[in-house]
Every structure is written in C-alpha cells, then in structure tokens.
C-alpha cells in the first residue's frame, strides 16, 4: 500500500484550467464604484499587468503555462498526494483519506502557485516592484519568494494581529528581500484613516488590501498583487487539482468528497475546480468548502455586490459577503478572516454545485492534534479546517474516497497550538445581529 503518490517533473501541468466557460451562469461583472458601470481592462491596468487582466476575463478553458514558470514550479512541484493510512486507522474507518500536500513549497503553502506566475508576468511587462497584503503571512512570504526569483522588489502590508502573533513569517519575507509593514500603517491615506478612527486597530485583510492597492496606484513602477479571490489567482491554483486527478488515477481512485478550507477561496478552488466539470456531467461527487464560524462568509453571508477591501477602493464584486466593514475576531486561522470570497466560488455555491460548512476553532484544533499525532505533520490552522471536515466525513460515510487540500504547514503557528494545548482558545460564533449591521452598510448597486 503506497503512502505517497508522486508524479515526475515532466507531469507538472502545462496548462491551467479556467472554469469560466463551464460556470452554470455568467459571472456578474465587477462594477466601478465611481460610475456604477462594469469595469473594463483599462480600469484595472494601473494596478495589474495586461497579461493577468487578460487571464482575469478569459473565456478560454485552457491557458498555457510559460516554460519559465514551469521551471520555477519545479522547485517544489509536483507535490505529493498522501494516503492518510494512520489517520484512517485511528478513526476506525474504511474510508480512504487522501491529502494533497501543498505544504512542501518553500513558503510552506499553496500560495507560490500563483505568486510565481504573478511575479513572472509583472517582470515581463517591466514592473519593478509589487505591493501586496498578507493575513497569516503565507501570501506575503510566497510573493516575497516569487519576487526574489524574478528580480522584483516587494512591499508587504501585513495584518497587525498576524505581524505580532507571527514574527517568524516577517523574518522569512525579509530573508527573501521584502519590506514588511504592520497594517494599518501611517504610510497610506487608507491606513491613516483607519488609525484616526481606531488607533488600536488590529487590522484586517480588507484594510491591508486598501493600503497595498493605494501604494500601487500611487507609484508608477509598482503593481499590486492579490493572493486569493480573483479569477486569475484561482486559475493558477488549478495545478493542484490537475495533479491530484492524475495521482488519484494512478491510485485507481475516483473521489466521492473533495474538501478545502476557504479564506478567499484559492486553495479550495485549486483543488476542487478541475472536478467541477465531472460533477456538472452528473458524477456523484461532493465538493465541500470549509470556513470558520468566526468568519462565516459562505454559510451566513449574503450574495450581493460589495467592495473587496474595507475602505472601498476596489471594484465591487458579486459574492457572498459579511459586509466590507465586518471585523472578524482575531482567531488563529488568520488567512480565513476575510469578509468575502472568490466570485467564481460564490456563484458555484449559489448554484449548489459546491457546499459550505463552518467550524469553531476548538474542534478544528482537536482535529489538527489528531492529524499531527497520526500522520506526523503539523497543519496550519487554516488547513486544519479541511482536516476537521475530512474526519467528520470519514466518520459519517465509512466507504468513501475523501480528498482534502493540505494547504500549508503550521510550523510558524506553534503559539496557536500552545494556546489550544493550554485550554486558552476561545470559540466565536458571529452573531446574526452583527452580521446584519455590517450587511446594512453595503452600498446598493443593483
């Protein structure tokens, strides 16, 4: 019985899968906040390079991956697909549990899958610096790594709560050559505005996005880079699912359940989207997106147009949202504290192609500990949400083939484990009241 199913470097996908032509209905266009009209490529060009804008709006099902990107992917791809024999045994289940190990990248997560192409296409168009935000620090370290590969400078606005909880991620970014600032900062108008209202603001992904977008928009040689949510990010992440399909084939398996955690939706989409055409053709396969109860976007949000950031600088996109002013509690899965989700993913949830569930932190960490004590690997708190769900699915249906995305390791999250092990971790259920309050602040564009 094999524990790891490996592919050769020649089997790294040569094309990304674009789900746009296979969506059950057309994706509502992003809206310009000033005009109230759909935005076009010209509106995006101050902050993104043209090649990524083309990918963002492409209706081609397959998009070729340039050779230089495949060469850079070879640093860690293909990633192994593991069979979780020891976890299965501990659960006493006949279910077959597999996980795609994206934690083997230098940054420790799936994020370099899109950081590498984003840095590459910017470099090709003469951009000298990228600005970005980071939540848990996983994205910031990935873009720092990618900028270093392709010779770009990199500025990272890191959510303050994570900056303080995770100093080692900051050092990782600096080691790869990036400048890192705790957000909100006094360096941007957006940051200053937040600090004037709340000098003790712990920050959020939405605020950090506002700062990074403003930085790019106000500097000629700089573009912005986003680690999740956008179509082109999800597109790049499909290398995960495309490899997984091949690996499952080698194992003689077809999955019954595919699971991933959701912050903005990129690792989940990366694994699950390549399975969507099979499901749409009638294959009996469940695709489950897992989020925290502290930030229940898909399970309690509303499907409407909202800003991608907190201050209201980005275009409005149609998605499940908790309202762009929503301020999630400082839970340890920092990468899952985002008020919205990827529009493509939201459309598929609305059409019931994808299901969503939410878990509080304590059961999530309980699953992480069981995983660490059976499989040996210590998952990121974000990833542990997918593990919780995989365990529950394996208990419910004991004959299923279950695949989840092991989106990242938790080596820089040991303080969170310490909190859990000493019984200090609090569970948060976001109250309907607070959600209603934040949703009432969403501008009406329909």
Ligand X SMILES: Cc1ncc(COP(=O)(O)O)c(C=O)c1O
**Residue 211 binds ligand X (CB under 6 A):** no
- Distance (Å, rounded) from C-alpha 64 to C-alpha 78? 17
Q: How far apart are the first and last CA of the chain?
A: 55
263 sits near ligand X (criterion: CB under 6 A):
yes
Instruction: State yes or no: residue 140 binds ligand X (CB under 6 A).
Output: no
The answer to whether 382 contacts ligand X (rule: CB under 6 A) is yes
Tell me which stretch binds ligand X (CB under 6 A): 39-47, 69-77, 209-217, 377-385: 377-385
407 binds ligand X (CB under 6 A): yes
Nearest approach, Cβ of residue 303 and ligand X (Å):
18
Determine, following the binding rule CB under 6 A, whether residue 112 of this chain makes contact with ligand X. no
> Which is nearer to ligand X, 361 or 400 (by Cβ)?
361
264 lines the binding site for ligand X (CB under 6 A): yes
Instruction: Give the residue closest to ligand X by C-beta.
Output: 335
Cβ(426)–Cβ(294) under 8 Å? no
Among 30, 135, 274, 328, binds ligand X (CB under 6 A): 135
Q: Find the binder of ligand X among 52, 136, 149, 230 (CB under 6 A).
A: 136
The alpha-carbon radius of gyration of the chain (Å, integer) is 20
Q: How far is the CB of 360 from ligand X (least distance, A)?
A: 17
Piece in contact with ligand X (CB under 6 A), picked from 255-263, 346-354, 358-366, 425-433: 255-263
Query: Residues for the chain: how many in total?
Result: 446
- Residue 39 CB neighbour total at 10 angstroms: 18
* Secondary structure tally for the chain: helices H, strands E: 20, 15
Taking the C-alpha atoms of residue 66 and residue 120, their distance in angstroms, rounded to an integer, is: 9
Distance CA 346, CA 343 (A): 5
Number of neighbours of residue 45 by Cβ within 10 angstroms: 12
Residue 260 CB, nearest distance to ligand X (Å)?
A: 7
Strand, helix or coil for residue 374: helix
Q: Which stretch binds ligand X (CB under 6 A): 112-120, 217-225, 263-271, 280-288?
A: 263-271
Would you say 271 and 405 are in contact if contact means Cβ atoms under 8 Å apart? Answer: yes
Instruction: Name which of 242 and 400 has its Cβ closer to ligand X.
Output: 242
Interface with ligand X, residue 154, by CB under 6 A: no
Q: Which of residues 223-252 bind ligand X (CB under 6 A)?
A: 228
Rounded least distance, CB 337 to ligand X, Å? 9
Q: What DSSP string describes 273-301?
A: GGGHHHHHTT---EEEEEEETTS-HHHH-
Does 267 interact with ligand X (rule: CB under 6 A)? yes
Cα(35)–Cα(145) distance, integer angstroms = 37
Interface positions, 288-347, toward ligand X (CB under 6 A):
335-336
Helices (H), 218-281: 231-237, 239-250, 266-272, 276-280
Binding site for ligand X (CB under 6 A): 109, 135-136, 138-139, 228, 261-268, 335-336, 380, 382-383, 407-408
């Amino acid at each position: 019985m094999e524990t790891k199913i490996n592919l050769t470097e020649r089997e790294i996908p040569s094309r990304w899968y674009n789900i746009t032509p296979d969506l059950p209905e057309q994706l509502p266009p992003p809206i310009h906040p000033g005009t109230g009209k759909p935005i076009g490529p010209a509106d995006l060009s101050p902050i993104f390079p043209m090649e990524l804008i083309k990918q963002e709006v492409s209706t081609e099902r397959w998009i070729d991956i340039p050779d230089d990107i495949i060469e850079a992917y070879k640093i860690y791809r293909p990633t192994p697909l593991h069979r979780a024999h020891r976890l299965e045994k501990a659960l006493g289940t006949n279910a077959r549990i597999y996980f795609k190990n994206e934690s083997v990248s230098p940054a420790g997560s799936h994020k370099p899958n899109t950081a590498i192409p984003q840095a590459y296409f910017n470099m090709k168009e003469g951009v000298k610096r990228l600005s970005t935000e980071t939540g848990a620090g996983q994205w910031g370290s990935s873009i720092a790594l990618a900028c270093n590969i392709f010779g770009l400078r990199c500025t990272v606005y890191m959510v303050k709560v994570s900056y303080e909880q995770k100093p080692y991620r900051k050092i990782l970014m600096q080691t790869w050559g990036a400048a890192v600032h705790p957000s909100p900062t006094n360096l941007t108008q957006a940051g200053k505005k937040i600090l004037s209202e709340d000098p003790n603001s712990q920050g959020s992904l939405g605020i950090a996005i506002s700062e990074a977008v403003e930085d790019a928009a106000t500097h000629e040689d700089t573009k912005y880079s986003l680690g999740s949510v956008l179509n082109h990010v999800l597109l790049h992440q499909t290398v995960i699912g495309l490899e997984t399909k091949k690996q499952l084939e080698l194992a003689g398996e077809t999955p019954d359940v595919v699971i991933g955690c959701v912050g903005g939706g990129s690792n989940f989409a990366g694994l699950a989207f390549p399975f969507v055409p099979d499901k749409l053709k009638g294959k009996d396969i469940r695709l489950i997106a897992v989020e925290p109860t502290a930030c229940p976007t898909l399970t309690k949000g509303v499907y409407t147009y909202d800003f991608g950031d907190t201050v209201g600088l980005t275009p409005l996109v149609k998605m499940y949202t908790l309202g762009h002013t929503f301020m999630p509690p400082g839970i340890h899965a920092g990468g899952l504290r985002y008020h919205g989700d990827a529009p493509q993913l939201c459309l598929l949830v609305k059409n019931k192609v994808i299901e969503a569930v939410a878990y509080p932190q304590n059961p999530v960490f309980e699953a992480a500990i069981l995983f660490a004590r059976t499989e040996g690997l210590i998952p990121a708190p974000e990833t542990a949400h997918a593990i919780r769900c995989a365990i529950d699915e394996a208990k419910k249906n004991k004959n299923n083939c279950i695949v989840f995305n092991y989106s990242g390791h938790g080596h820089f999250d040991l303080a969170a484990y310490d909190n859990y092990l000493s019984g200090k971790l609090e569970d948060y259920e976001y109250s309907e009241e607070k959600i209603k309050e934040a949703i009432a602040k969403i501008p009406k564009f329909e």
